[in-house]
Amino acid sequence: MTSFTSATRRIAGQTGLAVREARVVGSQHGYQHLMITLAGGRRAFAKVAAEASPVAADGAAVEGAAAVAGESAADEMAAAFAAEACSLRWLAEAGAVPVPEVLAVTEAALVVSMIPPGRATPSAAFTFGAELARLHAAGAADFGAPWRGFIASLPLDNTQFSPFTQWPQWYASRRLLPYLRMAVDSGALRPEDGRLVEAVTDRIDSLAGPPEPPSRIHGDCWAGNVLWSDGRGWLIDPAAHGGHRETDLAMLALFGAPDLDRILVGYNDTVPLAAGWPSRVPLHQLHPLLVHACLFGASYREGVRSAARAALSA
C-alpha cells in the first residue's frame, strides 16, 4: 500500500523519482537519511537537506565551512551532494570495487541504490583487498580531482597537482595544513601540537616513500564506509580523488576494518605494495585524525600527536 507521508512527498518532489514510500532513519552532517521504495519496488537510500535547518549534530562545522567558502549552507550542501555523486561514478568507472548506483542527485538530495546487508568474512575481505588494489591501479590523471571535494561536512581541497612526483607536497598543502590550521584555530589542538605536525610537513619529501603515480582512491575509507554484501565489500560515502594508495589502507587500519590481515593479503597478492609501507601508515593517518579533531575537538589531540611522532620516527 502506498504511504504518502511527508517524507515520501518531499523526496519525490526533490528528485523527480516515483517514490512509493519513504521513512527517515537518521541524520548526519546537516542532512537526513531516508530508506525509500520506488514505484517499481526497487529500494534505495537517500540523503536530503534537513527540512527545518541545514544544521544537525555537527552543524557548526557545516555553517563554518560555508562561511569560509563565502556561500550559504544550502549551497555548500548542494556541492557536497554533487561531489559524492561524482565520486561514486568515478569509482564505478574502474569496474573494480562495487559501489552504489547514483539514481538521482539534485541541490537538495542524493539517492543511491540500496546494498543488501551481509557480513564480513575472511573470504570476502580477501576479495575486497584484491578489488581495492585493482581500483587503485585504475589510476587518475593527477593528484586531486576536477570537482570540489568534501569529507564529512568539511571542504576538501581537490586542486590538482602533476606530475606524480609532487604527491608529498600535494598531501602537505591540500590534506594536512588546512585542517591543522582549522584545528589549532578552534582550540582542538594546541600551538605545540601544530609545530609537531609542521615538522612532518617540513620533512614530507623524505617521509613519503618512493614516488608512485596517482591512484584512484576512495579518500575516506574507514571501516564504516565498507558495506559487506554477497561476499564482497562495497564502498560508500567516498571523498574520491587521485591520491596515494597507501592512504586508503591506512584509513582501514585506523578504525579497525574486520579481517584487515586478509584485506592486505588480497591487496598485496594483486598489486604488491612498496617496501616499507607499514612504517608510513601514521603519515597517511594524520589527515583523517586532523579532520576528526576539526569535527569533534580535543579528544583527537593525542591521536594527532601520536601519529605525527610515529611518522617522524619512521
Sign of CA dihedral 181, 183, 187, 189: negative
How many independent structural domains does the chain possess?
2
Residues 160, 98 share a domain: no
Domain finish residue from 113, 130, 153: 113
CATH number at residue 250: 3.90.1200.10
Is 185 found in the same domain as 42?
A: no
> Using CB atoms within 10 A of its CB, is residue 293 exposed (0-12), middle (13-18) or buried (19+)?
buried
My answer on whether 299 and 212 are in the same domain is yes
Whether 109 and 247 map to the same domain: the answer is no
pTM: 0.89
Query: Residue 127 is placed in which grid cell?
Result: 576479495
Residues 108 and 131 in one domain: no
Do 135 and 253 lie in one domain? The reply is yes
Residues 234 and 143 in one domain: yes
144 and 21 in a common domain = no
Could you tell me the pLDDT band of residue 53, with boundaries at 50, 70 and 90?
very low
Is 228 among the domain residues?
A: yes
Best CA proximity match to 67, nearest among 179, 154, 157, 174: 154
Across-strand partners of 35? 23, 45
- Over residues 21-46, the pLDDT tens digits come to 888 888 877 788 999 999 889 999 99
Higher model confidence: residue 132 or residue 29?
132
Average pLDDT, the chain: 90
Taking Cα atoms as reference points, which of 254, 206, 260, 195 lies closest to residue 233? 260
**Residues 6 or more apart from 62 whose CB is under 8 A from it?**
29, 30, 54, 55, 56, 73, 76, 77, 153
User: What pLDDT was estimated at residue 76?
Assistant: 86
Which residues are paired to 100 by β-bridges? none
**Same domain flag for 194 and 80:** no
Q: Cell match 537519511: residue?
A: 33
CATH number at residue 38: 3.30.200.20
Predicted confidence (pLDDT) per residue in 226-274, tens digit: 999 999 999 999 999 999 999 999 999 999 999 999 999 999 999 999 9
Q: Which of 33-47, 115-129, 177-191 has the lowest mean pLDDT?
A: 33-47
Q: Is the pLDDT of residue 289 over 90?
A: yes
Q: Determine the average pLDDT of the residues in 287-299.
A: 97
Asked if the structure places residue 295 within a domain, the reply is yes
- pLDDT for 61 equals 46
Could you give the CA distance from residue 47 to residue 35 in angstroms, rounded to a whole number? 9
User: Do the domain assignments include residue 54?
Assistant: yes
pLDDT recorded at residue 304: 98
Name the 3-class secondary structure at 162.
coil
Q: What is the pLDDT of residues 161-178, one digit of tens each?
A: 665 558 999 999 999 999
Examine residue 68 and state whether it is found in any structural domain, yes or no: yes
Of the two residues 123 and 63, the one the predictor is more confident about is 123
Distance CA 217, CA 224 (A): 16
Q: Is residue 84 part of a domain?
A: yes
Residue 301 in grid coordinates: 589531540
Are residue 51 and residue 198 in the same domain, yes or no? no
pLDDT digits (tens, 9 = 90+) for 55-113: 333 444 444 454 444 467 778 889 999 999 999 999 999 999 999 999 999 998 999 99
- Range(s) of the domain holding residue 216: 122-313
Residue 1 lies in a domain: no
Instruction: Give yes or no for residue 115 having a pLDDT over 80.
Output: yes
Distance CA 124, CA 259 (A): 9
Mark out the alpha helices in 138-229 (DSSP H runs): 167-171, 177-186, 191-202, 204-207
pLDDT for 171 equals: 96
Q: What pLDDT, on the 0 to 100 scale, is given for residue 163? A: 56
User: Domain ends where: 92, 113, 134?
Assistant: 113
Same domain, 98 and 132: no
Same-domain status, 104 and 127: no
State which of 113, 139, 162 marks the end of a domain. 113
- Inform me whether the pLDDT recorded for 3 exceeds 50: no
Residue type, 145: A
Rg from Cα positions in the chain: 20
